[in-house]
Amino acid sequence: MTDEMKRVVIVGSGDGGTFTANLLASKLRKEIKGGLVSVQLVGEHLLHPFQPGNLDIAFKGAVPDKYVRAETDLIRKGVEFIKDPAVKIDFSARSVATKSGRTLPYDYLVIATGAVADPSKIQGLAEGALNFHTGGADSRRVWEALQSFEGGTIVVAIAGTPHKCPPSPNEAAFMLDEFFQKRGTRGKVKIRFLTPYPRPYPAEKVSHVVEPMFQKKGIDVVTFFNVDSVDPAKHKIYSLEGEAFDYDLLIAVPPHHGADVIVNSGIGDQDGYVPTDKGTMRVVGQEGAYCIGDATTIPVSKSGVVAHLQSVVVAHNIIAEMNRAKGLLEYNGRINCPMEVGNHKGIFVSATYTSPPVDQSPSTVKYYMKRSFAMIYWRALGGGLERVFDVFFGQTRFPATEKEEPEKTAVAPVASQGGKREA
């Protein structure tokens, strides 16, 4: 590494951005202390949410405050947290502009701006539907609506793909069934699941688990339903295919798009996601720039686990570039998304770029493993559990010169709308 300071700017303080900053601060502790490296984390919010907790808020009545921490309590010494939203990224000038007017030059850039759930993209959706993807407050409104729901039709709809946490719509249906079973009013409630996919879950092997359970629980599934509009006054939801269904309560996964800073900077695709090399995580065509998590165009699940695993690759590759080393790593597409299926049972949606799907059975062990994630998440952000994760996830990265061999125990993503894939 040269004596000239190397500046790393990370845009976005969610899971991937915070973890990348902490990894770099840990691995470059001496260089940061010696003034050879700076790590700046640019974020919009002082509070950091554990987003999977939204399901518990919406369907189990958890208090939103349980799933947030102060961002400043989560970052390591050596990371400069800048609460000042980025408004423009300029690749040619190698700089990031913030809302307050600051210009942050960089030698290495990490884009971790996530995906935005936006009900306004579909006519009537914001007014006619509730959702658990736009934060804890909106998730709490789902719970409040359930308290006074005595009977009728609840529609769970996927209103756009890709979206954060692919299993979450299925989990919502399972958790609704469980909620009304416990209340003793399940017989008065019809649950209908609307999906744009050809099956209840996009990955076929996972759908082999979900579909019979939906049938057993009396959850009605309508496939190839691409939401066109919602009429809040008539309580109807319409599809592009010409179908329409009545509802008494509509819970919808909103369309998602990339962050405003990506759109306004002109560096994303038509949906605002950043073209990214699926192996090295480099922004396509840009030196020293990386992208991780939900912000990328990479065809894997938009989830915290993915951002976490990609962060390890990015932190390694940035340090390798600083040291002018050749040993870059590539991410192998590993995903690992837990799904509750009711009655204290769970499954895991697991995949890599090359590994085929496998059959599995719901288990209590998988359910409690999922429940434990909320407890370990905050520690995981600091990088203290990487050895445990390496054992749990197996090989998630490999030298860029090598080819990954197909694994025997994973579930592969399948094609979804718009040429993207979800698992």
> Which one, of 304, 300, 254, lies nearest residue 118 by Cα?
254
Residues 241, 251 contacting (CB under 8 angstroms): no
* Sheet strands (E) in 259-303: 289-291
One-letter amino acid at 253 equals V
For residue 54, which phi and psi values (nearest 5 degrees)? -60, -35
**Predicted confidence pLDDT, tens digits, the chain (423 residues):** 556 899 999 999 999 999 999 999 999 999 999 999 999 999 999 999 999 999 999 999 999 999 999 999 999 999 999 999 999 999 999 999 999 999 999 999 999 999 999 999 999 999 999 999 999 999 999 999 999 999 999 999 999 999 999 999 999 999 999 999 999 999 999 999 999 999 999 999 999 999 999 999 999 999 999 999 999 999 999 999 999 999 999 999 999 999 999 999 999 999 999 999 999 999 999 999 999 999 999 989 999 999 999 999 999 999 999 999 888 999 999 998 999 999 999 999 988 998 865 788 999 999 999 999 888 899 888 887 777 677 666 667 778 765 444 333 332 232 233 333 345
For residue 257, which phi and psi values (nearest 5 degrees)? -150, 170
What is 117-256's CATH number, 3.40.1260.10, 3.30.1060.10, 3.50.50.60, 3.40.50.300?
3.50.50.60
Token couple for 277: 């090399």
Amino acid 288: pLDDT: 96
Integer Cα distance of 131 and 254 in angstroms: 7
Token couple for 52: 């999977």
Amino acid 409: pLDDT: 30
CA angle 250, 252, 257 (to 5 degrees): 155
* pTM, 2 dp: 0.91
Decide if 6-114+259-417 and 117-256 have a common fold. Answer: yes
Return all residues near 336 (Cβ < 8 A) that are at least 6 apart: 305, 348, 349, 350, 393
Residues 7, 302 contacting (CB under 8 angstroms): no
Q: How far is CA 385 from the centre of its chain?
A: 20
Amino acid 414: pLDDT: 29
- Burial annotation 70-95 (CB, 10 A radius, 16+ → b, else e): ebeebbbebbebbebbbebbebeebb
What is 6-114+259-417's CATH number, 3.10.20.30, 3.40.190.10, 3.50.50.60, 1.10.1380.10?
3.50.50.60
Integer Cα distance of 303 and 390 in angstroms: 18
> Which one, of 351, 391, 331, 404, lies nearest residue 20 by Cα?
331
Domain boundaries, the chain: 6-114+259-417, 117-256
Rg (CA), the chain: 21
Three-state DSSP at 82 gives strand
Alpha carbon of 23 to those of 8, 185, 287, 313: distances in Å? 12, 49, 21, 10
User: What's the first-to-final CA gap in the chain, in angstroms?
Assistant: 40
Amino acid 390: pLDDT: 72
Widest pairwise Cα distance in the chain? 71
Three-state DSSP at 126 gives helix
Amino acid 168: pLDDT: 97
Residues 24, 57 contacting (CB under 8 angstroms): no
Token couple for 379: 């520690």
